């Protein structure tokens, strides 16, 4: 059966955002995908089916330049994708919501929670890639690649998750530095649950540990897994994500 066509959030002079939504009980759940991902991945689909069964409101969407939304991927940056996230919170959700952020989505989740404290009731971060642009620039790129990125304005780098290389831009790196969260206390007071694998090849698990130490909320838990990689998409990983989300919903 082919996937259903998305709805679109129309915005004046800004790219349309494709989204799918399930009506249901509050608090609702908003899923934030990762860098270069889309809302039709296994985690988003799993959450959608689970929320549907529980009659919990659920929303998933594509950032500009991702999936079925308008815009070019290489034109986007953290500020843009945060703006997209806030647009969905403000215009396509109601009442208290729990943000579930995967990889880059967990960085955006933290930024959104800082800006919408009255709306965000809880957070679940999956392989949280907070400040990943700085990690990429300083630890994942060699000096030649960094020079090329700064001189040419972009860099193509092979990815383990796509047959085509990812495009990283100077704009992305420079904008990422304006949105860093781990260089200071993270002013978040809602419950936070973090899941990370100790063998994550893309984002060190200590990033999640750093988040746990920097957030101001006392209600934070970090679960470390072994041999789960970055995606955390095995059945046992997905079951754990749902279990933590279930406990959070009941707590709230």
Is the residue at 215 inside a domain? yes
Query: Which tokens in the block code for residue 30?
Result: 């908003």
The pLDDT, as a whole number, for residue 4 is: 86
**Is 177 within the bounds of a domain?**
no
Residue 174 lies in a domain: no
Q: Is residue 245 part of a domain?
A: yes
Give the pTM: 0.96
The pLDDT of residue 3: 64
Distances (CA, A) of 173 to 74, 177, 178, 202: 12, 7, 9, 16
pLDDT at 241: 97
Burial 98-130 (b: 16+ CB within 10 A, else e): bbbbbbbbbbbbbbbbeeeeebbbbbbbbbbbb
Q: Which pLDDT belongs to residue 32?
A: 98
Residue at 160 is within a domain: no
Tens of pLDDT, residues 88-128: 999 999 999 999 999 999 999 999 999 999 999 999 999 99
- Is 228 contained in some domain? yes
Catalytic residue list: 103, 200, 230
- Is residue 234, in this structure, part of any structural domain at all? yes
Give residue 45's pLDDT: 97
Domains contained in the chain, number: 1
pLDDT of residue 157: 87
Which residue range forms the structural domain that includes residue 24?
Answer: 7-129+184-251
- The parts of the chain modelled with pLDDT lower than 50 are 1-2
User: Is 150 among the domain residues?
Assistant: no
Contact (Cβ atoms closer than 8 angstroms) between residue 59 and residue 30: yes
**In CATH, what number is assigned to the domain containing residue 223?**
3.40.50.1820
Q: What is the pLDDT of residue 151?
A: 94
């Amino acid at each position: 059966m082919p996937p259903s066509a998305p709805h679109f959030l129309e915005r004046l002079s800004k790219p349309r955002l494709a989204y799918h939504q399930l009506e249901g009980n509050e608090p609702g759940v908003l899923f934030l995908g990762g860098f270069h991902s889309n809302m039709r991945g296994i985690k988003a689909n799993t959450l959608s089916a689970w929320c549907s069964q529980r009659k919990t409101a659920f929303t998933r969407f594509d950032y500009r330049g991702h999936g079925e939304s308008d815009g070019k991927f290489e034109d986007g940056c953290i500020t843009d994708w945060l703006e997209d996230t806030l647009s969905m919170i403000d215009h396509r959700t109601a009442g208290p919501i729990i943000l579930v952020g995967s990889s880059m989505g967990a960085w955006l989740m933290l930024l959104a929670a800082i800006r919408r404290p009255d709306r965000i009731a809880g957070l679940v971060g999956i392989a949280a890639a907070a400040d990943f642009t700085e990690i990429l620039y300083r630890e994942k790129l060699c000096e030649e690649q960094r020079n090329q990125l700064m001189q040419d304005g972009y860099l193509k780098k092979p990815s383990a998750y796509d047959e085509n290389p990812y495009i990283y831009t100077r704009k992305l790196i420079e904008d990422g530095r304006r949105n860093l969260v781990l260089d200071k206390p993270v002013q978040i007071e809602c419950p936070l649950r973090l899941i990370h694998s100790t063998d994550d090849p893309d984002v060190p698990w200590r990033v999640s540990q750093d988040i746990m130490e920097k957030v101001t909320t006392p209600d934070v838990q970090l679960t470390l897994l072994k041999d789960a990689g970055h995606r955390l998409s095995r059945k046992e990983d997905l079951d754990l994500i749902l279990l933590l989300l279930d406990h959070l919903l009941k707590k709230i």
